[in-house]
Amino acid sequence: MSQQAFEPKLVGFLCNWCSYTGADLAGTARMTYAPNLRIIRVMCSGRVDPQFVLKAFQEGADGVLISGCHPGDCHYQEGNYKALRRHRLLSKMLEQFGIEKERFRLEWVSAAEGAKFQKVCNEFTEQIRKLGPLSWNGGKKNE
Partner 1 sequence: MSDQKPKVAFYWCASCGGCEEAVIDLAEDILKVVEAVDIVFWPVALDFKKSDVEAMEDGSIAVSFINGAVRLSEQEEMVKLLRRKSQLVVAFGSCAHLGGIPGLANFWDKESIFNRAYHTTPSTDNPEGVVPQEKCTIDGKELYLPSFFNTVYALDQVIDVDYYLPGCAPPRDLIMNAVQAILEGNLPPKGSVLSPNKALCEDCDRNDTKPEKLAIKDIKRPWEVILDPEVCFLAQGVICLGPATRTGCGQRCISANMPCRGCFGPTDQVIDMGAKFLAAFASILDADDESEVEKIVETIVDPAGTFYRFSLPTSILRRRKMEEKR
Which residue number, 49 or 126, has a Cβ lying nearer to partner 1?
A: 49
Tell me which residues in 2-41 interact with partner 1 (CB under 8 A). Answer: none
Among 29, 35, 38, 50, interactor with partner 1 by CB under 8 A: 50
CA 5, 65, 137: angle at the middle one, nearest 5? 55
Beta partners for residue 104, in sequence order: 64
Q: Are 60 and 9 in contact (CB under 8 A)?
A: yes
On whether the CB atoms of residues 33 and 121 are closer than 8 A, the answer is yes
Instruction: Give the whole-angstrom CA distance, residue 124 versus residue 10.
Output: 9
Q: Which is nearer to partner 1, 32 or 139 (CB)?
A: 139
In the complex, what is the shortest distance from the CB of residue 35 to partner 1, in angstroms, rounded to a whole number?
A: 27
- Say if CB 73 and CB 82 are below 8 A apart: no
Dist. CA 69–CA 88, nearest whole Å:
17
With binding defined as CB under 8 A, does residue 131 bind partner 1?
no
What mask of x and - would describe binding to partner 1 in positions 82 to 121, judged by CB under 8 A? Answer: x-xxx-xxx-xx--xxxx----------------------
| Site residues, partner 1 (CB under 8 A) | 46, 49-51, 53-55, 57-58, 71, 78, 81-82, 84-86, 88-90, 92-93, 96-99, 134-139, 141-143
